[in-house]
Amino acid sequence: MNQVDMTSKIATGNGFIAALDQSGGSTPKALKGYGIEEGAWGSDEEMFGLIHQMRSRIITSPSFSGDKVLGAILFERTMDGQVDGKPTPRALKDKGVVPFIKIDKGLEDEANGVQLMKPMPELDALLGRAKDLGVFGTKERSVINLANREGIAAVVKQQFDVARQVLAAGLVPIIEPEVNIKSPERAEADAILLDELVRALDSMPGDEKVMLKLSIPAEAGLFDPLVDHPRVLRVVALSGGYSRPDACRELSKNRGMIASFSRALLEDLRHQMSDAEFDRALGQAIDEIYEASTDKVAA
């Protein structure tokens, strides 16, 4: 797939984006969910080796293909590694799956009800390496815990500042200002975020487009203006702590939003499964998430 092919697939394809980008802090939890307890590795290198084996198993599974999986978001180490003897982005593209890379380095402490991204001093080098490996886009995450307009405006400003840097490198940014679905002010935070995102999108120069990765809104259909915005290539949804059945049910109520699930995609997969069992469990998850992404229901 070339850039035009990947852009078309992400913009108009039927399916969803798999999030395979658990980083250092979340890797032990991901491995435990996969059936590998924390004492199973003696160093960070061994831990990252185990999570790479898990991701390789997912990517090489017969169920994981571009028929229903439009794209996959990778952790930096996964991007730099190999799957089936090929650079991981190439292995994905050979299966018809568009590669993305997680670029944020974690979150700052909460202030004004939000957590901004930590500085990324080596971002230009990472973007250049990703581009050389054939990666299509990036993903960068902030968190919104309260309906604080000043804080949410700061999140959106920072996200669009980074997005401009990503676009300048020839990649497509997935802007991810996650609203905590357990927030007591969730609906209000959703509404403020919508206002700030529309304002930032309307102010973008030129004709470049970004993607948005958002929590499923408390009010179904709230993000329709973002789905329809001419500067948005695609709106994807994170599962945000929902179980897969709950995430799929809520996502199906939102027109134009497709999934970009991590835990909800992987929750039934176990290290101890045979390859046939693993592929069957992954295939079931893919089918459910695909249906919620493509078959919408009335709220």
Catalytic residue among 140, 176, 250, 288: 176
Q: Which residues pair with 235 in a beta bridge?
A: 212, 257
User: How many CB atoms lie under 10 A from the CB of residue 121?
Assistant: 8
- Kindly report the three-state secondary structure assignment for every residue of the chain: CCHHHHHHHHHHCCCEEEEECCCCCCHHHHHHHCCCCHHHCCCHHHHHHHHHHHHHHHHHCCCCCCCCEEEEEECHHHHHCEECCEEHHHHHHHCCCEEEEECCCCECCCECCEECECCCCCHHHHHHHHHHCCCCEEEEEEEECCCCHHHHHHHHHHHHHHHHHHHHCCCEEEEEEEECCCCCCHHHHHHHHHHHHHHHHHCCCCCCCEEEEEECCCCCCCCHHHHCCCCEEEEEEECCCCCHHHHHHHHCCCCCEEECCCHHHHCCCCCCCCHHHHHHHHHHHHHHHHHHHHCCCCC
Catalytic residue among 68, 93, 95, 213: 213
CA 240 to CA 243: how far, in whole Å?
9
Active site residue 213: yes
Catalytic residue list contains 288: no
Yes or no: say if 276 and 230 are a contact pair by the CB < 8 Å rule: no
User: Catalytic site residues?
Assistant: 176, 213
